[in-house]
Structure 1
Amino acid sequence: MPLHLLLRTYTLGARELWRALRDMAGPGEQQALAELTEALFTATDRVVGAVAESYLDERVALAAERHEERRSRARALLDGRPVVDGVTPDGPVLVLFVRFGTSAATGGLSPVAVRRLLRRVQAALDRAFGTEVLAVLDGDGGHVVVPGVTEPPARLPELLCETAGPELRLAAAAAMTVGDIPRAALLTSEVVRVAAACGVRPGVHRLEDVLLEYHLSRPSEGSARIIAMLDPLADRPELVGTLRTHLEHRQDRRATARLLNLHPNSVDNRLARIQDLTGLDLADPRDVALALAALLLRDADTGVTE
């Protein structure tokens, strides 16, 4: 029953009781009627307050229970496990990975603010798809599972950016069967990670946008040796940052200098120092590819993007 209807039944009851008291009051009982009326209003205030509080508490408990059920279903699908308390999708499933902006991801939001953010994001997702979607989200972001869909709505990025801020990143992949969901989940999270590591601006990311970088970031037998090429820079974070920015902007020294608040000559000096320490010639396409692979593999190995 809606809360306003529930509360109205109590106020209607109080009014009917007051009418009964008024009709029964005899001559000279006006003072007694006034006292009874005040007692009736006091009791009604307490009852309405208690009913409203209990109703809202129950609604919160039910919402939390329903939210956890949805999270459990989403976790099962993302892990490739059977759905215990729901119906397993028998058709295509759209898997999304969402990463929020830096204020949420770096702990800039309080726990209360994070909960509010997640509620707003869930509401935006439900509104965009026209149904209750399954999501596993935290302060950094997470995965979303939408059965029966293969493409996200065109307005989804706009709705999510309005809700979570312009720094939001999003990737989507379709799973044709339930068994493909874990693969799609890994793919979407990796596409977002690689896009962020490569300096791609926030927004919607596709595998095609970072195809080379995605390929270079895949672990192999030679990964450890490629990562080791940057070991001489381990104690020089400013050189690693310069190398990353330089590669992100297609080796444009002026753009690199502008973003790092340096003079272009200072960028040249840093790049020369990088070459001296690592032996990588950043004018050689092969060495540029090795440097990019080393950065991407290093990020994947440490889980940190500088």
Structure 2
Amino acid sequence: MTSPPRRLPGEGTAHTVEQSAGELARLAMARMDETLGWYRELSAAQRSQVGLVAQAGISQFVEWLRQRERHAPSAISIFANAPQELTRAVSLRHTLDLVRTVVDVVEARATSLAGPGDEQLVLESVLRFSREIAFAAAEVYAGAAEARGAWDARLEALVVDAVLRGEADDSMQSRAAALGWDDVAGVTFVVGRAPLAASSPDAPAATVDSLRRAARHLGVEALAIVQRDRLIAIVGGTRDPLPVVEHVADRFGPGPVVVGPTVPHLFAAGRSARAALSGLTAAVAWPGAPRVVESDELLPERALAGDLPARRRLLDRAHRPLTESAQSSQSPLLETATAYFEHGGSLEASARALFVHPNTVRYRLARITDVTGYDLTRPRDAWAVRVAVTLGRLGGTGATPGPAVGLSDAGQPAPVGRRGLEESSNL
């Protein structure tokens, strides 16, 4: 059923409103300057753009007042002269403040503008028009937010890909700045399997949005992409990322979520990425790995898989302190560790092999913990030190493990390639 035409005000009223459009716009601008703090903080150019929007709105109202259509004209034309950047400087809430201010000004002048008997009609027209404009403004801002979201997702994918490739160049710097990451400190690379549902077309965007929201709820920043079967996140703004990753771990698919070392800023995140990706590859060798695991906890597996930086780090952490103790006047810690391994972790058997008292072995084990950070009475720590000792001895013979599967000869992740980038950014 067609709605009846809208009742129009008298010609005198419409003419008076039309003649007063400029004055109404001037009064509205003065009222905004008087009552809206955010408006006073805008630059001169932005204030001018807001003024154009207000004038366009009043002009559209005058035009609509003469027409019989019940619905107000599209507000797209009202915002047409305003640049896209204005939606960043002026929020939707501010735009509604603008609409409310103009309505208040017109309402205050309704009696003097309307002819006899048209006062209520003018008031109703103002309220109906302002309602339509408010809904249209929400639509404009929703469209702007959607466009920004798509662009940000593309920038995000490019930044993460640059981190994966170790390309901390000017283009990465500008993209990071556009995302607000140019001054974020305490950056950590995190990787795990993507959720099984992420194979559907819309799932990657929903997955990364959920991860970002959860991270921001904890007060940290997060970049995230789904790349083939991996969910990659870069967490920033914290030096202690483990609680954050544990909180968002349910966004990842099955298997371990590997946390790389924290680096000072995004442009050094390549080191964190290499460690985390190497850890994800090597984690299959540790069936009992915790759900959230630091890449350094996977040093033995990474070293055996051919990750040369992991091999060097494990040797520096576990093998070198033991060999240095053997060359100094300190206790022969390397000899003690070897005996402890070869005798199944038995204090008494190790003591007999070393011709010392069991308490001496106990003391030396404590010293090993002090200098390496590994407690040989714990099976996992003993395994790490045993791998380090073995690799250290192999290093003395010139033997070098080959590169790990998925790593380049330099022990770095192989580049993802154009196809991987397209898949990761197709959100």
Q: Is the 8 A contact 2:223 2:235 kept in 1?
A: yes
| Cα distance in 2 between the residues matched to 1:179 and 1:2 | 31
Deviation at 1:47, TM superposition (A): 1.5
How does 1:1-306 map onto structure 2 within 5 Å?
1-25=90-114, 29=117, 32-81=118-167, 82-84=169-171, 85=174, 86=176, 94-100=187-193, 102-104=195-197, 107=199, 110-128=200-218, 130-138=219-227, 140-144=230-234, 146=236, 151-161=239-249, 163-164=251-252, 169-174=257-262, 181-196=269-284, 198-201=286-289, 203-207=291-295, 209-218=297-306
| Cα distance in 1 between the residues matched to 2:203 and 2:142 | 20
Find the counterpart in structure 1 of residue 390 from structure 2: none
Secondary structure (helix, strand or coil) at the match of 1:155 reads: helix
Stretch deviating more after TM superposition (177-186 or 205-214): 177-186
Deviation at 1:156, TM superposition (A): 1.2
Q: Is the 8 A contact 2:222 2:233 kept in 1?
A: no
Q: CA RMSD in A?
A: 4.2
Deviation at 1:160, TM superposition (A): 0.9
Scaled by the length of structure 1, what TM-score is found?
0.54
Of structures 1 and 2, the one with the larger relative CO (CA 8 A, separation 6+) is: 1
Secondary structure (helix, strand or coil) at the match of 1:98 reads: strand
Aligned residues: 217
Secondary structure (helix, strand or coil) at the match of 1:99 reads: strand
Unmatched 5+ residue regions in structure 2?
1-89, 308-403, 408-427
Distance of aligned partners of 1:153 and 1:197 in 2 relative to their CA distance in 1, 3 Å threshold:
same
Secondary structure (helix, strand or coil) at the match of 2:261 reads: strand
Distance of aligned partners of 1:158 and 1:9 in 2 relative to their CA distance in 1, 3 Å threshold:
same
**What is the identity, as a one-letter code, of the residue corresponding to 2:230?**
D
1:222-249 deviations in Å (ceiling 9; x for gaps): xxxxxxxxxxxxxxxxxxxxxxxxxxxx
Deviation at 1:10, TM superposition (A): 0.9
| Cα distance in 1 between the residues matched to 2:298 and 2:190 | 16
Distance of aligned partners of 1:190 and 1:203 in 2 relative to their CA distance in 1, 3 Å threshold:
same
**What is the identity, as a one-letter code, of the residue corresponding to 1:51?**
A
Secondary structure (helix, strand or coil) at the match of 1:199 reads: coil
Could you say which structure has the larger radius of gyration? 2
Q: Is the 8 A contact 2:256 2:280 kept in 1?
A: no
Unmatched 5+ residue regions in structure 1?
220-296, 301-306
**What is the identity, as a one-letter code, of the residue corresponding to 1:83?**
D
Deviation at 1:141, TM superposition (A): 0.3
Secondary structure (helix, strand or coil) at the match of 1:111 reads: coil
Distance of aligned partners of 1:39 and 1:94 in 2 relative to their CA distance in 1, 3 Å threshold:
closer
Q: Is the 8 A contact 2:192 2:252 kept in 1?
A: no
Deviation at 1:209, TM superposition (A): 4.1
Deviation at 1:155, TM superposition (A): 1.7
Scaled by the length of structure 2, what TM-score is found?
0.41
Deviation at 1:212, TM superposition (A): 4.2
**What is the identity, as a one-letter code, of the residue corresponding to 1:114?**
P
Secondary structure (helix, strand or coil) at the match of 1:97 reads: strand
Secondary structure (helix, strand or coil) at the match of 2:288 reads: coil
Query: Aligned residues: percent identity?
Result: 19
Secondary structure (helix, strand or coil) at the match of 1:125 reads: helix
1:250-288 deviations in Å (ceiling 9; x for gaps): xxxxxxxxxxxxxxxxxxxxxxxxxxxxxxxxxxxxxxx
| Cα distance in 2 between the residues matched to 1:157 and 1:177 | 18
Q: Is the 8 A contact 2:208 2:226 kept in 1?
A: yes
| Cα distance in 2 between the residues matched to 1:36 and 1:174 | 63
Deviation at 1:4, TM superposition (A): 1.9
Deviation at 1:202, TM superposition (A): 5.2
Distance of aligned partners of 1:50 and 1:97 in 2 relative to their CA distance in 1, 3 Å threshold:
same
